[in-house]
Amino acid sequence: MSLARVDYIPPWWTYWLHNFPHINLRFQPTDKSFQPEDDNYQQSLIFLGCVAAAGLGLNLLCLAIYLSCLCCCRKEEEEESKKPNSCCVTWSAVAAGLITCVAVGVGFYGNSETNDGVYQLTYSVYNANHSLGGVDSLVTGTMGSMKSGLHLHLARLDEIFATRGDYVQTLQFMQQMADNVIKQLLGLPDWENAKLDLASIADQTANIEYYRWLTYLLLLIVDLIICLLACLGLAKQSRWLLTTMMVFGVLALILSWTSLGADLATAVGTSDFCVSPDKFIMSQTKGIISADIVHYYLYCNQTLSNPFQQPLTIFQRSLTTMQIQIQGLLQIAVPLFPSAERDLLGIQRLLNSSEASLHQLTALLDCRGLNKDYLDAMVGVCYDGVEGLLYLCLFSILTACAFTVMLCAIPRAWRQIACRERDYDDIDEEDPFNPRARRMGSQNPNHANMHSFCSYSSSMGSQNSLHPPAPAVSNAPMSEYMNQTALFGGNPRYENVPLIGRGSPPPSIYSQQYRNRYSPTMRATYLSMTEEQSRHFGNDFQA
């Protein structure tokens, strides 16, 4: 692990985000170092959220201007063309749907990446907290056994060996060794405060991440549902569904910009930490753990001396000396004082357990374990976490664009639906040229003898089998008759020919009666049908 520090290199996107302008609410530049407790630094992150809010206001202003122009600058019905507008609405809906699908895919990926990074961070913090808890438990247990268990056995042996001064002197030497071990253990840092801080940080981070992940999951589903329902409303031409989706589209647009501001501020703040995490950790542990110990765990270089090497060495030597003394007493004093064997064996078991605790303590205090947890946490939060936040920012931008396009397309679709309904309502129910009237007439037996203008057949057999009524004569002058014919695009060569088998007056006479009842679109359809019918009739008549 001599090159453990090289294992963590901040990714390029953290430097890119770290170089974002840090400006407080008074529009003054602030320090870019990660200082979450500083007011100016907090204001610099809030300023990024305000930038997103300004983007939301500009987006809503553009939509309001667009809708105002769409409502105020209406063209005349004669100049409207449904096909281009329909294509515009269709392509806008397709674009909004595709952008939403891409945005939802990017959002799911970003949400998963962020969750993975935060999970790796919390897992590493919990693991480090477990290591520190193990160190604290071993130190506390060893000190307790030395103070209580060893002291009790030595007090009994002191009574047994009261007549032997050399044995009593050996027991006093062992007591000094035990006090020396306790002294070295007390010299180790108190990990209790650091353990509690790590535990609270991990718990708070896990809770916040859970609600963040769940919120984004619901937001992704809601965005997708709104887009699908809007497309369904366009396909079904449902005005109430389009109106509802327009309201929800505005809310989704606001949520997109809000999430963009929150994600951007979080990404910039996290990147400020990832650029120099050791500096922040050193400042936070100041007064709790010595700087050389923190430096030892952060860098874990073989060139750095282990700050625990001396107390652990003294601990090991003291235990070895005490074991040698106990072994000698078992060989020499037990034959003379058989009652001392039980206490001597109890001290030997206590020293063996203390030696095992020493080996575990040496392994836990080694820098490689905690440094690995530190590197895993940094990789999780700075690589996966910040990368996921960038994807979530992209998701917010794409959804904002998609809902902007959708909000622009829905009013146009509304106008098209309204125009079609108005044109359909303009048709006279009693007009025999109305296809709906023909369908009603075919279903109504009282109107079974009424023939529509479009019911003509070019078959000669059908013409011979029909009894044509007397041709209708127009009372209008010839000039007015010709003008009417020219107005509706009729051919004057066939205007005065009897309409065999139709039971309806000439087109120019009937159009004079219903001229004011048709919209331009219906008149165009009427003229095309008239020309086609007149052409077929003229050919059959000449034949």
Instruction: Give the range among 13-27, 323-337, 437-451, 453-467 with minimum mean pLDDT.
Output: 453-467
**Cα gap 73→488, rounded to integer Å:** 30
* Of 376, 404, 344, 438, residue with least CA distance to 153: 344
Short-list 252, 272, 270, CA closest to 107 = 252
How far is the C-alpha of 89 from the C-alpha of 121, rounded, in Å?
Answer: 47
pLDDT over 60 at 212, yes or no = yes
SS3 state at 83: helix
pLDDT at 20: 92
Phi, psi of 29 (to 5 degrees): -65, 145
Confidence of residue 192 (pLDDT cuts 50, 70, 90): low
Quickly tell me which residue has 């996966």 as its tokens.
384
pLDDT of residue 85: 53
**pLDDT of 285 strictly over 80:** yes
Higher pLDDT, 271 or 535: 271
- Flag whether 481 is in a domain: no
491-536 pLDDT per residue, tens: 444 444 444 444 444 444 444 444 445 555 655 665 666 666 666 5
- Torsion sign across C-alpha atoms 263, 264, 266, 272: positive
Per-residue pLDDT of 247-269, as tens digits, reads 999 999 999 999 999 999 999 99
Contact 367, 305 (CB under 8 A): no
CA distance 523 to 527: 6
Length of the chain: 543
Q: Which amino acid is at 36?
A: P
7 burial via Cβ count (<10 Å: 0-12, 13-18, 19+): middle
Closest CA to 133 of 382, 309, 301, 373: 373
Kindly report, residue by residue over 423-482, the tens digit of the pLDDT: 444 444 555 555 554 444 444 444 444 443 334 333 344 444 434 444 444 444 444 444
Q: Is residue 362 part of a domain?
A: yes
Query: Per the domain annotation, does 519 fall within a domain?
Result: no
Lowest mean pLDDT among 19-23, 146-150, 190-194, 262-266: 190-194
Higher pLDDT, 443 or 10: 10
Tell me: pLDDT of 43 over 90. Answer: yes
362-421 pLDDT tens trace:
998 888 889 999 999 999 999 999 999 999 999 999 999 999 998 888 887 777 665 655
Q: CA 433, CA 411: separation in Å to the nearest integer?
A: 33
Q: Span 184-196, mean pLDDT?
A: 74
Does 76 map to a domain? Answer: no
Q: Is residue 152 part of a domain?
A: yes
CA distances 233 to 224, 237, 239, 413, 479, Å, are 14, 5, 7, 10, 51
CA-CA distance, 154 to 344, in Å (whole number)?
Answer: 9
Q: What is the pLDDT of residue 519?
A: 54
In eight-state DSSP terms, residue 8 is -
Percent of the chain with pLDDT over 70: 71
SS3 category, 470: coil
pLDDT confidence of residue 432: 52
C-alpha dihedral, 208 to 211 to 216 to 219, nearest 10°: -140
CA 152 to the chain's CA centroid: 63
* Rounded mean pLDDT, 38-58: 93
Q: What is the pLDDT of residue 489?
A: 44
Task: Report percent pLDDT > 90 for the chain.
Answer: 32
116, 178 contact by CB (below 8 A): no
Domain count, the chain: 1
Mean pLDDT of 190-215: 84
Cα–Cα distance measured from residue 302 to residue 260, given in angstroms and rounded to the nearest whole number: 44
Which amino acid appears at position 430 of this protein?
A: E
Calpha distance 181→150 (Å, rounded): 12
Q: What is the per-residue pLDDT for 58?
A: 95
The lowest-confidence range among 55-64, 320-329, 440-449 is 440-449
What pairs with residue 130 in β-bridges? none
On average, the pLDDT of the chain sits at: 78
What does pTM read for this prediction? 0.71
Tell which wins on pLDDT, 317 or 470: 317
Within a domain: 505: no
- Residue 258: predicted pLDDT: 94
Could you tell me if residue 46 is inside a domain? Answer: yes
pLDDT mean over 268-279: 93
- What pLDDT score does 536 carry? 57
The whole domain housing 123 covers 12-26+39-70+89-421
Q: Does 482 map to a domain?
A: no
Whole-Å CA distances, 514 to 173, 427, 445, 508, 522:
127, 10, 25, 10, 11
